């Protein structure tokens, strides 16, 4: 019995599953033991203990081997599973019909940069792939379509559920205008028109909508959610470290104010007016309706119904979707129209073999928050991007570089590391910055050394400022949960910033030295990079956010335009003429790491349901990131999306 007990306890389930022979032995011995009385043990009878120890060792090794083998099988299973999913979900390259209509439907989200994670757009919860189309691929497709004899024209019909930032819509719209220079037609049709969809559609030669659809023309609103009241109720305290000169640096305002400061209200009003101005100017030019009239229509909500849109010349007619095909036949002689989406057409394009050995113009992406260290997700890691820039600088085949910056900023330290590599890169070859939706704070820090900076009119940039935040939860834990913390210290300020106690006056002064130093360096680097006096930089800094159009007037940006304009400047500065090829430099996560990244992202999103929070989800994520920050940061708080 002693032997049986020892074997059973040491082996457990693994022995039953993997070692059937010992299991049978235990059973037989147990039956014999039940049939005969147990004799008094003798020294000779105790010798089988060696056999028991030997059996235990075998069982242990077998169990260990089973665990290792099981782990290997599990890892291989996930690798094959994700490889299979990646293969299944990979976009199919479709052929272009001989007479095709290019269909712009934004079924895919229009994004600034390709995802670094090949599984990043696969949602495990719904087992679906979210399609994405980069602005570079979209622009390249439209440029090619203008010369492609198979493409008859463009049909703008936003039936998809994709999304796009304002600046991406601005660049896409400009590319469609350029497409029209080829003499080909553009027609738009939608059941309903949001302001973003109409901004794109208004460029068409003819604009139609469904007879029972709706039309939104009401203007823009920019709002901020403030958390001070919540923090007061919870007993949370936040020490704000912001230089006095950075009065427009509003990223920290939601945590110590209940409404906008006068300075923040001023800059937000100007930004909203400029954003709306970009939309109104584009619509006015395309539709032949004055900006004053368009603003009057918005103020009076005079355009809600299709008949009102038709009356005020915002559309050319009302039709059902099936009637549009009859229009293609009547107007353009296309009897049975065949469509190809912008994304599918972009996927069908191949590189001209004649340019395979031509000098390269590289597009490097700086997309996302600026973060310390290295990483492979869709953010800007200081060490990772620095390494990429260093490799590009050492590549003799690359003659010129466009850094596409789409970032609200982040870590001041990581920004400085990237700035240094930008300086080294510029010493070897031309570097042009193309600003996306926002290139502010840390995003502007890394842009400042460039030979030239190109921004869209609606780009958010500047925000040359710095801040620090030190939240403390000690009082909240004690008052709400009854949790207290005690400690011993060797010195008065040991444990500073531990999250339990607010900063003392001595600690606050010490922290502010670092904040002030970063602001001084930031403004100095901008003055050097933009060839401005430090006095001028201090006037336009103060943490203030500017639109791309404003930034051009004050010297922070060289010209307004999109990625295409930046590439043209890069080609010109490298004196490449027509002999060049454009390559994208993308850091991708390695196989298994990419899968794990994807699992982490999707699991995190599942834990905090977007369906429950809706539009508040982004605010929740912003709050989570801000309260969790440590160190000194340069961040712009504004993000606009249609």
Please state, in angstroms and rounded to a whole number, the distance separating the CA atoms of residues 125 and 309.
41
- 30 pLDDT tier (thresholds 50, 70, 90): very low
Percent of the chain's residues with pLDDT above 70:
76
Q: Active-site residue among 116, 249, 360, 429?
A: 249
Please state, in angstroms and rounded to a whole number, the distance separating the CA atoms of residues 71 and 64.
11
pLDDT at residue 465, as a whole number: 94
Torsion angle of the four alpha carbons 168, 169, 171, 173, in this order, in degrees rounded to the nearest 10: 160
- 24 pLDDT tier (thresholds 50, 70, 90): very low
Q: Which of 74-83, 283-292, 378-387 has the lowest mean pLDDT?
A: 74-83
Please state, in angstroms and rounded to a whole number, the distance separating the CA atoms of residues 539 and 603.
45
pTM value is 0.80
Write the pLDDT tens digit of every residue in 583-612: 999 875 554 445 544 444 444 444 444 444
pLDDT at residue 77, as a whole number: 63
| Active site (annotated) includes residue 201 | no
Non-local (6+) Cβ contacts of 43 within 8 A are: none
The 3-state DSSP class for residue 482 equals: coil
φ/ψ of 236, rounded to 5, equals -80, 140
Q: Which of 89-103, 237-251, 275-289, 485-499 has the lowest mean pLDDT?
A: 89-103
Mean pLDDT for 39-47 is 50
Write the pLDDT tens digit of every residue in 470-513: 888 888 888 888 999 899 999 999 988 888 888 999 999 999 99
Please state, in angstroms and rounded to a whole number, the distance separating the CA atoms of residues 472 and 503.
9
| Active site (annotated) includes residue 347 | no
- 553 pLDDT tier (thresholds 50, 70, 90): very high
Long-range contacts of residues 136-141, Cβ cutoff 8 Å, at least 24 apart? 136/363, 136/404, 136/563, 136/584, 137/343, 137/346, 138/110, 138/172, 138/175, 138/342, 138/346, 139/171, 139/172, 139/175, 139/562, 139/563, 139/564, 140/346, 140/349, 141/102, 141/342, 141/345, 141/346, 141/349
Please state, in angstroms and rounded to a whole number, the distance separating the CA atoms of residues 248 and 271.
13
Whole-number Cα distances in Å, 368 to 77, 406, 570? 32, 6, 23
Q: Given the DSSP bridges, would you call strands 380-381 and 317-318 parallel, antiparallel or unpaired?
A: unpaired
pLDDT at residue 138, as a whole number: 96
Residue 589 in tokens: 């996560």
Q: Given the DSSP bridges, would you call strands 467-472 and 237-241 parallel, antiparallel or unpaired?
A: antiparallel
Long-range contacts of residues 602-607, Cβ cutoff 8 Å, at least 24 apart? 602/122, 602/123, 602/124, 602/125, 603/124, 605/125, 606/124, 606/125
Higher pLDDT, 550 or 60: 550
pLDDT at residue 462, as a whole number: 96
Write the pLDDT tens digit of every residue in 329-383: 999 999 889 999 999 999 999 877 878 889 999 999 999 999 999 987 889 999 9
- DSSP letter assigned to residue 434: E
Q: Given the DSSP bridges, would you call strands 128-129 and 122-123 parallel, antiparallel or unpaired?
A: antiparallel
Total residue length of the chain? 642
pLDDT at residue 75, as a whole number: 64
pLDDT at residue 212, as a whole number: 95
pLDDT at residue 627, as a whole number: 53
45 within 8 A of 93, measured Cβ to Cβ: no
pLDDT at residue 26, as a whole number: 39
- 13 pLDDT tier (thresholds 50, 70, 90): very low
pLDDT at residue 139, as a whole number: 97
Higher pLDDT, 241 or 6: 241
- 295 pLDDT tier (thresholds 50, 70, 90): very high
Mean pLDDT for 64-88 is 63
Please state, in angstroms and rounded to a whole number, the distance separating the CA atoms of residues 30 and 470.
67
Q: Active-site residue among 400, 407, 437, 441?
A: 441
């Amino acid at each position: 019995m002693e032997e049986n007990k020892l074997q059973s306890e040491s082996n457990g389930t693994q022995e039953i599953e993997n070692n059937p022979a010992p299991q049978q032995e235990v059973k037989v011995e147990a039956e014999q033991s039940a049939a005969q009385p147990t004799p008094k043990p003798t020294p000779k009878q105790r010798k089988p203990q060696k056999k028991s120890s030997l059996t235990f060792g075998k069982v242990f090794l077998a169990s260990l081997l089973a665990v290792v083998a099981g782990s290997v099988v599990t890892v291989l299973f996930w690798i094959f599973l994700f490889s299979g999913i990646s293969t299944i979900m990979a976009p199919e390259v479709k052929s272009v019909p001989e007479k095709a209509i290019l269909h712009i439907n934004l079924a895919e989200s229009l994004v600034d940069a390709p995802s670094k994670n090949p599984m990043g757009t696969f949602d495990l919860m719904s087992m679906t792939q979210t399609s994405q189309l980069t602005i570079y691929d979209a622009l390249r497709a439209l440029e090619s379509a203008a010369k492609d004899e198979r493409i008859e024209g463009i049909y703008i019909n936003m039936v998809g559920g994709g999304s796009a930032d304002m600046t991406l819509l601005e660049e896409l719209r400009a590319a469609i205008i350029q497409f029209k220079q080829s003499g080909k037609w553009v027609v738009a049709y939608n059941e309903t028109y949001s302001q973003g969809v109409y901004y794109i559609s208004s460029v068409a030669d003819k604009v139609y909508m469904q007879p029972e659809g709706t039309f939104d023309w009401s203007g823009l609103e920019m709002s901020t959610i403030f958390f001070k009241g919540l923090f007061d109720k919870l007993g949370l305290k936040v020490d704000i470290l912001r230089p006095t000169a950075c009065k427009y640096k509003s990223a920290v305002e939601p945590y110590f104010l209940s409404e906008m400061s006068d300075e923040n209200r001023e800059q937000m009003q100007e930004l909203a007016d400029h954003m709306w101005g970009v939309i109104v100017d584009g619509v006015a030019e395309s539709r032949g309706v004055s900006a004053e009239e368009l603003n009057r229509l918005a103020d009076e909500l005079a355009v809600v119904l299709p008949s009102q849109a038709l009356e005020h010349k915002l559309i050319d007619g009302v039709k059902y979707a099936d009637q549009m095909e009859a229009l293609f036949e009547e107007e353009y002689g296309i009897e049975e129209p065949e469509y190809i989406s912008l994304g599918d057409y972009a996927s069908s394009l191949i590189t001209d073999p004649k340019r395979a050995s031509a000098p390269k113009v590289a597009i490097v992406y700086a997309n996302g928050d600026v973060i310390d260290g290295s990483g492979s997700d869709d953010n800007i890691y200081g060490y990772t991007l620095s390494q990429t820039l260093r490799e590009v600088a050492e590549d003799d085949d690359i003659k010129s570089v466009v850094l596409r910056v789409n970032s609200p900023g982040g870590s001041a330290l990581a920004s400085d590391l990237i700035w240094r590599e930008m300086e080294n890169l510029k010493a070897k070859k031309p570097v042009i910055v193309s600003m996306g939706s926002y290139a502010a704070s840390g995003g502007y820090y890394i842009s400042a050394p460039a030979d030239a900076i190109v921004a869209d009119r609606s780009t958010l940039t500047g925000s040359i400022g710095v801040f620090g935040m030190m939240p403390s939860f000690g009082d909240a834990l004690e008052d709400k949960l009854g949790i207290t913390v005690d400690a011993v210290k060797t010195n008065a300020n040991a444990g500073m910033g531990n999250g339990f106690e607010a900063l003392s006056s001595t600690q606050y002064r010490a922290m502010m030295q670092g904040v002030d130093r970063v602001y001084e360096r930031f403004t100095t680097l901008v003055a050097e990079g933009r060839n401005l006096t430090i006095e001028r930089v201090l006037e336009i800094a103060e943490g203030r956010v500017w639109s791309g159009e404003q930034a051009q007037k004050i010297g922070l940006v060289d010209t307004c335009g999109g990625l295409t304009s930046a590439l043209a400047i890069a080609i010109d500065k490298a004196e490449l003429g027509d002999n060049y090829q454009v390559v994208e430099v993308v850091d991708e996560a390695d196989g298994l790491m990419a899968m794990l990244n994807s699992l982490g992202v999707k699991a995190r999103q599942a834990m905090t349901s977007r369906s429950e929070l809706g539009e508040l989800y982004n605010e929740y994520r912003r709050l989570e990131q801000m309260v969790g920050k440590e160190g000194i940061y340069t961040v712009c708080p504004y993000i606009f999306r249609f």
